[in-house]
A and B are shown apart, each in its own frame.
Chain A
Amino acid sequence: MAGILVWAEASNDGIRKAAREAAGVGVKLAEKLNAPLAAVMCADKPDLAAKLGRLGFSKVYAAAGESFSRYSSEAFSAAIAEAGDRLKADIYLLGATALGRDLAARLAARLDAGLATDVTEIQWDSSPLTVVRPVYSGKLLAVTELTAERKVISLRPNVFPAPAEQERSAEVEAISLEDVRIRAQVQKAIQAAQGALDVTEAEIIVSGGRGVGGPEGFKVVEDLARALRGAVGASRAAVDSGWIPYKHQVGQTGKVVSPVLYIACGISGAIQHFAGMGSSKFIIAINTDKEAPIMGKADFSIVGDLFKVVPILKEELGKAMKQ
């Protein structure tokens, strides 16, 4: 059986959560298919590679050197393809983070593979390997058979569990690429303000819509998000009105999110917004209009003025979170 290779995306402080989740999927698939499993790391962090044993890998390919100090799809996909050749891999797993999706695209083209992005479910005993991914921003789910010999799969963050860590170290094999051409590379990264969590990574999102009334109105939304250590989301109406930057937009033309808790403040919940957050585990809606579509879909809906209700929620939940 050909092997399974997992991209271990590194962050400033270790292995990214989405990559650990991909490791969990890799471990389970390797068991089911009785296939060899390895991780590949593209980062100038040799000590981190050995630590991947804890996630269940006995083998790690580590591409290190100047070419890997900053992201480029060309060098990273070349390193993964090289590791895949050595492992004789036919399944490549990545977390569907921003860079994971970028890399999956280039890698799949390079390998002429079957590509499935943002996968939310794997049919473990299927043949050919079958995965489920949201389409039409979650209005439907596509049950997709990957019939190609080589398959590249990116996994939606926050969906699959990370493996339980164990005391184990991995054998690290270096990959050095001499003549990789890099024609597009990250030059610099400007970090967002400290504590500002991205909606795609947050377990709790507090979102504001038209009912927030203006940029000042977002303050109550932000206050609640901060008290819950969550991220701030927004509807298209709020973004298009210029009240908050686009990176906060949740919906079919924004980000698709699956947090544990989504609190919609003054959002009507148009079909295109619901498409972006309908897979949240729990939804709370606060709206003066009891007929708003979101009120019929939320697990808990509060008919009321968000400017009165949300500050009280913040106080009470803030207290509860501290306990």
Chain B
Amino acid sequence: MKIAVIFKQVPDTEAVIKPDPAKPGAIGEGDIKFVLNPYDEYAVEEALRIVEKSPGEAVGFCIGPERSEAAIRTVLAMGLQRAVWICEPAAVNADVISQGRILAAAIKGFAPDIILCGREVIDTQEDALAAAAAHFLDMPHVLNAAKITIAGDKATVVREVEGASLEIEAQLPAAISCSKGLNEPRYPTLIAIKRAKTKEIKRVTLAELGVQLGPVKSRVAALKSPPPRPKGVRVEGEPAVVAGKGVEWLAATAKVI
């Protein structure tokens, strides 16, 4: 099978994120450690498991600025065979639907059976990429997969919604976004990390892809910090006493009960 994996580099979950005072809508990247988007690890792992079972090719596709090379080396070290990289600012700064269009153009020639990506990118919290790429490639999509079973030209996907799990059957080719719990992503071995250095990373431009982006669809005008929480009350002492104070506070201040 041929699997396309869409991935992105994002700030580490433990990073403290602050707006860049000089650039409205951007974050200060100074001290931040960047990593492969955590959900994309599940997509890479799933792709590798699929091609281990049904031989083919698993190729990565990434939109991201120059610093993204580390994340690209990570997915190659995990086992993707090669990667395609679009790093023009126009693509990096595009809205999620336009990025779906760009990735669709980049993926088209590869003609994958399945497109995988993480269920969400944890920086801009966009979760529409799989659906957008699928739309522009005229494929169905399923988001948030907790389990994927492939049989013939169909994938059966289990996903969680509020209060239920859904079983969704998708005709291949299809795009599927991957949730935590789908698998246990592997750690690359030292040998794999070394080997990844010789794997192909192909840079492509929007012009080469024949993509012309229309007028800007959305723009982050500013990033602001959420309002600070008011200083809280602290209690210490006998369990019965502190629990009693908690109940009192809930009734009087929070008015929850």
Contacts and interface: CB of A to CB of B under 8 A. Distances in A.
Given A299-B229, A302-B243, A117 B163 contact: no
Contacts of B226: 134, 138-141, 278-279
A222 interface: no
Contacts of A164: none
B231 to A, nearest CB: 9
A268 interface: no
Contacts of A148: 215-218
Interface stretch (A26-34, A169-177, A253-261): A253-261
A116 B171 CA distance: 28
A99 B169 CA distance: 15
Contacts of B146: 246
B166 interface: yes
B123 interface: yes
Interface string B213-239: 011111111111110011011111101
A320 interface: yes
A113 B244 contact: no
Interface residues of A, number: 96
A77 to B, nearest CB: 9
A146 B218 contact: yes
A305 interface: yes
Given A98-B162, A105-B127, A184-B142, A253 B122 contact: yes
A141 B239 contact: no
Given A98-B144, A147-B215, A298 B232 contact: yes
A279 B136 CA distance: 36
A282 interface: yes
Interface of chain A: mostly helix, strand, loop or mixed: mixed
Nearest to B228: A297
Nearest to A310: B243
Interface stretch (A40-48, A86-94, A186-194): A186-194
Nearest to B168: A186
B97 A109 contact: yes
B170 A184 contact: yes
A226 interface: no
Interface stretch (B12-20, B75-83, B196-204): B12-20
A320 B14 contact: no
Contact of A313 (B169, B171, B236, B246): B246
B11 A253 contact: no
Interface in B129-182: 130-132, 134-136, 139-144, 146, 156, 159-171, 174, 179-181
A141 B225 contact: yes
B95 interface: yes
B105 interface: no
Interface stretch (B47-55, B56-64, B66-74, B248-256): B248-256
B162 A297 contact: no
A198 interface: yes
A55 B98 CA distance: 34
Given A105-B131, A184-B170, A185-B169, A301 B234 contact: yes
Given A143-B222, A143-B224, A303-B234, A189 B165 contact: yes
B112 interface: no
Nearest to A120: B226
A249 B180 contact: yes
Q: What bracket does the count of chain B residues touching chain A fall in?
A: 35 or more
B100 to A, nearest CB: 6
A135 interface: yes
B251 A143 contact: no
Given A148-B215, A189-B164, A300-B249, A137 B171 contact: no
A282 B218 contact: no
A85 interface: no
Nearest to A279: B226
Among A105, A148, A187, A304, residue most surrounded by chain B Cβ atoms (within 10 Å): A105
Nearest to B146: A246
Given A105-B131, A146-B218, A190-B165, A184 B247 contact: no
B162 A97 contact: yes
Interface in B1-53: 11, 13-19, 25, 27, 38-39
Interface of A: 71-74, 97-99, 101-102, 104-106, 108-110, 112-118, 130, 133-148, 182-192, 196-198, 200-201, 204, 245-247, 249, 251-254, 260-261, 270-272, 275, 278-279, 281-284, 290, 295-305, 308-309, 312-313, 316-317, 320-321
4 closest A-B pairs by beta carbon, nearest first, are A105-B128, A184-B140, A105-B131, A109-B135
Given A102-B144, A271-B14, A290-B234, 12 more contacts: A97-B162, A105-B132, A112-B97, A114-B97, A143-B224, A145-B219, A184-B142, A184-B169, A189-B165, A245-B181, A247-B160, A320-B251
10 contacts: A98-B144, A98-B162, A136-B17, A137-B125, A140-B223, A184-B168, A184-B171, A309-B243, A309-B246, A313-B247
Interface of B: 11, 13-19, 25, 27, 38-39, 95-97, 100, 122-128, 130-132, 134-136, 139-144, 146, 156, 159-171, 174, 179-181, 214-226, 229-230, 232-237, 239-240, 242-247, 249-251, 253-254, 256-257
